Amino acid sequence: MSVSVFSHRTVLLDEAVEALGIRPDGVYVDCTYGRGGHSRLILSRLGAAGRLIAFDRDLSAVADAATIADPRFTIVHAGFSDLGTELDRLGIDQLDGVLMDLGVSSPQLDEAARGFSFRFDAPLDMRMDQSRGMTAAQWLASAERADIAEVIRDYGEERFAQQIAGAIVTAREQGPIATTRQLAQIVARVVRTREPGQDPATRTFQAIRIFINRELEELALTLPQALSRLRTGGRLAVIAFHSLEDRIVKRYMADAAQADKLPSRLPIRAAEIGEAPLRLVGKPVRASSAEVAANPRARSAILRIAERTGAPL
């Protein structure tokens, strides 16, 4: 596997690493290595006793990580929902920080053969891990119309989901939908109106990608694992790019930062209510106007930060 030569700007690089409050001797996890922007900055702030474990499903990202010759660094080829299992395998019990940079990376979008983007004509793949699982083309060839519509509606927030699903089912009767261009053209024939500057296929491609890679399920499974591994004072920092992702993160952090709910009229002092396992840190962080100007993909990014308290789970 060759290392990708595509350029990649790490979104909220300094802000996310600052959010972790790096301790020189700490143990940290970068749940999405990508092209190593966050990982390399974390390593630069660790001392000789520090350690960083990075996860990625993408074989190109794993190949890039293999170029880091640093005994403090370990790359794991796995989805971050395997966090607990992989940490057990590595003999790591507690962490000082967990960083999650969600969504798809620039190299994945820019490499035509990956099939993530309608900007290129390429095989309709969309898998983050091309070594396993069903491709988008394979799923579209066999999925029921109702299931296709549900995915496009729920994960793409697409109001024309039913029409698009019907067009896909009609088109595949004439032959396989095997390329990104075929799918984009099918969607364009159905979706006549769209927000200025947005391609008609944007929401459909996003929805199918999220479904194929189980992105929301991965996130929901990982957040409690991360919390359970953080030592007191450890930080959880999550960058989301999509409203569905951010909603999961926001709700999870808010729930974990709230002590047990009691009836409003119960005669009990605030000090007698148990402490919540998480404490929210600051307000959500967004990319600066300068960063967005340099990297438009940063526009939708939102960073949420929380800190582990000493309260039991």
Name the residue among 65, 98, 81 with its Cα closest to residue 215.
81
H-type alpha helices, the chain: 13-20, 37-45, 59-65, 83-89, 106-110, 136-142, 145-156, 161-172, 180-190, 202-212, 215-229, 243-256, 289-294
Q: Over the Cα atoms of the chain, what is R_g?
A: 21
Alpha carbons 225 and 98: distance in angstroms, whole number: 10
Name the residue among 117, 101, 286, 108 with its Cα closest to residue 199.
117
Report the run of H or E that residue 280 belongs to, with start and end.
strand 278-280
**Binding-site residues from annotation:** 36-38, 56, 80, 101, 108
**Binding-site residues from annotation for S-adenosyl-L-methionine:** 36-38, 56, 80, 101, 108
User: Do 227 and 308 meet the contact criterion of CB atoms below 8 Å apart?
Assistant: yes
Report the run of H or E that residue 257 belongs to, with start and end.
none
